[in-house]
Amino acid sequence: MGVHDEFAGVIGRDWRDSTPAWPRRPEAPPGAPNVVFIVLDDVGYAQLGCYGSVITTPNIDALAVSGVRLANFHTAALCSPTRSCLLTGRNHHTNGMGRVADLAMGYPGYSGEVPFENGFLSEILRAEGYSTYAIGKWHLTPDDETHMAADRSTWPLGRGFDRWYGFHGGETHQFVPTLYCDNHSVQPPRTLAEGYHLTEDLVDHAIEYLGDLRNADGDQPFFLYFCTGACHSPHHAPSEWIERYRGVFDAGWDALREEILERQLASGILPRGTELSPRPPWVPAWDELTPEDQKVAARFMECFAGFLSHTDAEIGRLLAYLEESGDADNTLIVLASDNGASAEGGATGSINDVRMVNRDPVDRRELRERIDELGGPTVHNNYPWGWTMAGNTPFKRWKREVHEGGVADPCIVRWPARFAGDAGEIRHQFAHAIDVFPTVLELAGIDPPAEIRTQPQSPIEGTSFAYLLGDGGAAAAGRHVTQHFEMFGSRAIYHDGWKAVTFKPLGPTGAGPNTYAAPFDDDVWELYHVAEDLSEVHDLAAQQPERVHAMVERWWEEARKYHVLPLDNRVLYTILNPRPNRVRERSRYRYRPHGAPVPETVAADVRNRSHEITVSIDVPAGPEPQGVLLAIGCVLGGWSLHVLDGRLRYVHNLYGKQLDVIASNTPIGSGGHTVGFRYERTTDDGGVGALLLDGDVVAEGAIERFTPTRYNNTGAGLTCGYELGPAVGEGYEAPFRFTGTIREAVVEVRGAAPPDPLAEFERIMSEQ
């Protein structure tokens, strides 16, 4: 009870004329369900078995059999924006997530942080007596606030969750992730050699948290926000799961699309008469590929399928626990994906997305040579966009865009205690991610609060679809009549069965201030009667220009209302003018051997920049010293200064493509020493490195190409005294902790870092 809470008792001079009273404890309404959100990542409309896929997802399919499938559910086309919609019931621009937080701008709709006036479901439910848990991917905190010195107000515990176990950012290594527990960094509980995989770990922690709750309280309801890293790249899965799909996709993506469409029509998930959108000209026909390239492409898809089926099995383990605990019957489950299937693997597929942002894409020859590594820890695999097209069957385009391929997604809702009679049914009314929040509150019998912790709340913008879930839901008129879309200038408006949409290429298109895409007023709008043409095949814009004009005007009205403006596709400007960062860049950085990695965004920036690392160490008498002194990254890219077999060694890993090793033959004896590494940039791309022992150069070597833009996309930051893993170099295994004592590691940088804003933009986009 706070000092300003109204006291219901009597306070006299002493206990004789006083009456005690206790404040009301928060309690959920009678019969209020437990709530579980299961949020998949980059899983397209057609990639679950119950939405037509050939990929085996029996546990998710069982949810559909016992629940209701929404066949016309929509998202915001990107990860963070959609997640903000699910948790607040407001549109993504209203949440300041008009684009990803990494590309924030100084406008309300693009600030990169969800304002507190848009309360999270977790904040509301906790105040109503729920325990609240977040597990897995967060990605609602800007990069520059994900380190141990950061303000935690945008972390899960700052937004209403009691516990969190997961990762920041858009992605992480599935075998050796960068993890956080509550408000601090932690290491995975097992190693890669011990069979660790992130999805299994996330389910372990979800069961642990729910088990802890039930051990203490058998009745308190809970909200579990469970977000897998799957199936965002890297498509890492245990090898036995990948092998289950050997040969399944050999017929290619064109044949797969036809098969999926037949399954969708037969199941009723698509209305009869729905047509398959044409294969776009930039996606090659499967038969145009050579047999060698078909083999590689098929293996990429086998990895994705194994990843998704493994995830389904782990979701099944979570669902089985709910049965065992007795909670399943009164648990409201909402399973959805955050956007359409991803095309970020490009035309041929990728073995390390960071290769693209360093302007060194993989070629077909290298893909053929490294085919056996796909799905494993040494690559960051992402399939070719032909599979993206198939994963979004029957729709056009994909993630990041607002044609149906980017914004139409699977969504399953199940609550056995309330809607058992509607099990297995399909609903075709339009719905959006902002509708989930008001639906949960209505079903739980909870009114949206006017204030949360004295902060007045903004209006809810979603429309509850609870009316769809009960008797008569199939025949009910849709209540979500109008919805706008916008992502990086691509725009769309849905209204009463019609959709107008325009695609905007990502700028810039060249050098100079006037080379961005054409003015927004010149955008060409398409028009589809999606009530009859869900796959956007028949463009009616030429036949109905008046309707197009009215729809576009409606879009502008919605844009003004929901903070979409100003439209701005000046991505280079955004990168060169980032949001203010409290951690200032400096020329000298000091590190000591503490546990938490320092994110690359706030670590010493030595990328292709002259610099010197100096480490003060104490080496005990006895065995030769071993271990990491200072490192950043992992097997997918980075560098490591370490001691191997008693001798100083430096490895530069060029995004998993090439290792440059500089090794000393001079033993490091016992006692106190100063060791280090010096790099002099001598060309546009590279330079010369030298190892130093007590001030003397003991080895030198060329590094022809020093990483220019980004080491890797897994979140593996800078560490002192160990590596996160998998190891940056060869000949040792992470964490490879230093066996001596590190007193201090100092990094000094000289000169400005070579700018590459276009590559940085592509890096940020590849992570979403």
- The answer on pLDDT for 512 being more than 60 is no
Where does 157-234 have alpha helices with state H? Answer: 198-216
Give the model's pLDDT for residue 4: 53
Which residue, among 37, 87, 79, has the nearest Cα to 413 in the 3D structure?
A: 37
pLDDT tier at 765 (50, 70, 90 boundaries)?
low
- The answer on pLDDT for 576 being more than 70 is no
* 621: Cβ contacts below 8 Å, ≥ 6 apart: 670
Which residue, among 71, 67, 30, has the nearest Cα to 415 in the 3D structure?
A: 67
Amino acid at 681: R
- The answer on pLDDT for 752 being more than 80 is no
Say how many C-beta atoms besides its own lie within 10 A of residue 396's C-beta.
Answer: 22
Say how many C-beta atoms besides its own lie within 10 A of residue 292's C-beta.
Answer: 13
Give the model's pLDDT for residue 585: 78
Amino acid at 756: D
Is residue 408 classed as helix, strand or coil in its secondary structure? strand
Give the model's pLDDT for residue 101: 77
Q: Are 635 and 762 in contact (CB under 8 A)?
A: no
Q: What is the pLDDT of residues 177-222, one digit of tens each?
A: 999 999 999 999 999 999 999 999 999 999 999 999 999 999 999 9
Q: Which of 50, 74, 79, 720 is catalytic?
A: 79
Phi-psi region of 359 (alpha: psi -120 to 50; beta: other; left: phi over 0): left
- The answer on pLDDT for 513 being more than 50 is no
Give the model's pLDDT for residue 511: 45
Rounded Cα–Cα distance for residues 591 and 628 (Å): 13
* 426: Cβ contacts below 8 Å, ≥ 6 apart: 68, 69, 71, 267, 268, 269, 474
Q: What is the strand order of the sheet 526-528 is part of?
A: 482-487, 490-495, 498-502, 526-528
Which residue, among 344, 410, 422, has the nearest Cα to 383 in the 3D structure?
A: 344
Say how many C-beta atoms besides its own lie within 10 A of residue 674's C-beta.
Answer: 15
**Mean pLDDT to the nearest integer, 635-653:** 98
Rounded Cα–Cα distance for residues 118 and 600 (Å): 30
Q: Which domains does the chain have, with CATH numbers?
A: 34-346+382-480 (3.40.720.10), 483-569 (3.30.1120.10), 588-766 (2.60.120.200)
**Mean pLDDT to the nearest integer, 437-446:** 98
Q: Which of 139, 173, 232, 563 is catalytic?
A: 139
Q: Are 714 and 172 in contact (CB under 8 A)?
A: yes
* 106: Cβ contacts below 8 Å, ≥ 6 apart: 579
Rounded Cα–Cα distance for residues 674 and 610 (Å): 20
Share of the chain above pLDDT 70, in %: 95
Q: Among this protein's residues, is 79 annotated catalytic?
A: yes
Give the model's pLDDT for residue 754: 67
Q: Among this protein's residues, is 181 annotated catalytic?
A: no
Q: What is the pLDDT of residues 352-386, one digit of tens each?
A: 988 887 888 899 999 999 999 999 999 999 999 99
Q: Which residue has the tokens 């100092």?
A: 746
Rounded Cα–Cα distance for residues 503 and 194 (Å): 47
pLDDT tier at 3 (50, 70, 90 boundaries)?
very low
Total count of residues recorded for the chain: 768
- The answer on pLDDT for 637 being more than 60 is yes
Rounded Cα–Cα distance for residues 155 and 167 (Å): 10
Is residue 436 classed as helix, strand or coil in its secondary structure? helix
What dihedral angle (degrees, nearest 10) is formed by the CA atoms of 445, 448, 451, 452? 70
* 734: Cβ contacts below 8 Å, ≥ 6 apart: 176, 634, 722, 723, 724, 725, 726, 727
Give the model's pLDDT for residue 709: 86
59 or 684, which is more confident: 59
Q: 128: which 2 tokens?
A: 């109503």
- The answer on pLDDT for 598 being more than 70 is yes
Q: What is the pLDDT of residues 74-106, one digit of tens each?
A: 999 999 999 999 999 999 999 999 998 778 889
How far is C-alpha 230 from the chain's CA centre? 9
pLDDT tier at 510 (50, 70, 90 boundaries)?
very low
pLDDT tier at 517 (50, 70, 90 boundaries)?
low
Is residue 95 classed as helix, strand or coil in its secondary structure? coil
Rounded Cα–Cα distance for residues 621 and 468 (Å): 73
* 160: Cβ contacts below 8 Å, ≥ 6 apart: 119, 120, 121, 122, 123, 124, 125, 126, 132
488 or 758, which is more confident: 488
Residue 331 phi, psi dihedral angles, 5° rounding: -115, 125
Segment among 126-140, 257-271, 590-604, 627-641 with least mean pLDDT:
590-604
Q: 450: which 2 tokens?
A: 């006017």
Q: What is the pLDDT of residues 301-319, one digit of tens each?
A: 999 999 999 999 999 999 9
Is residue 32 classed as helix, strand or coil in its secondary structure? coil
Kind of pairing between the strands at 331-337 and 408-414 = antiparallel
Amino acid at 81: P
From first CA to last CA, the distance across the chain in angstroms is 42
Give the model's pLDDT for residue 675: 98
Give the model's pLDDT for residue 2: 43
Which residue, among 111, 163, 155, 158, has the nearest Cα to 134 in the 3D structure?
A: 163
Rounded Cα–Cα distance for residues 358 and 377 (Å): 20
Give the model's pLDDT for residue 766: 53
| Mean pLDDT for all residues in the chain | 94
434-459 in b/e form (b: 16+ CB < 10 A) is bbbbbbbbebbebebbeebeeeebbe
Q: Are 361 and 709 in contact (CB under 8 A)?
A: no
**Mean pLDDT to the nearest integer, 609-634:** 97
Q: Are 323 and 368 in contact (CB under 8 A)?
A: no
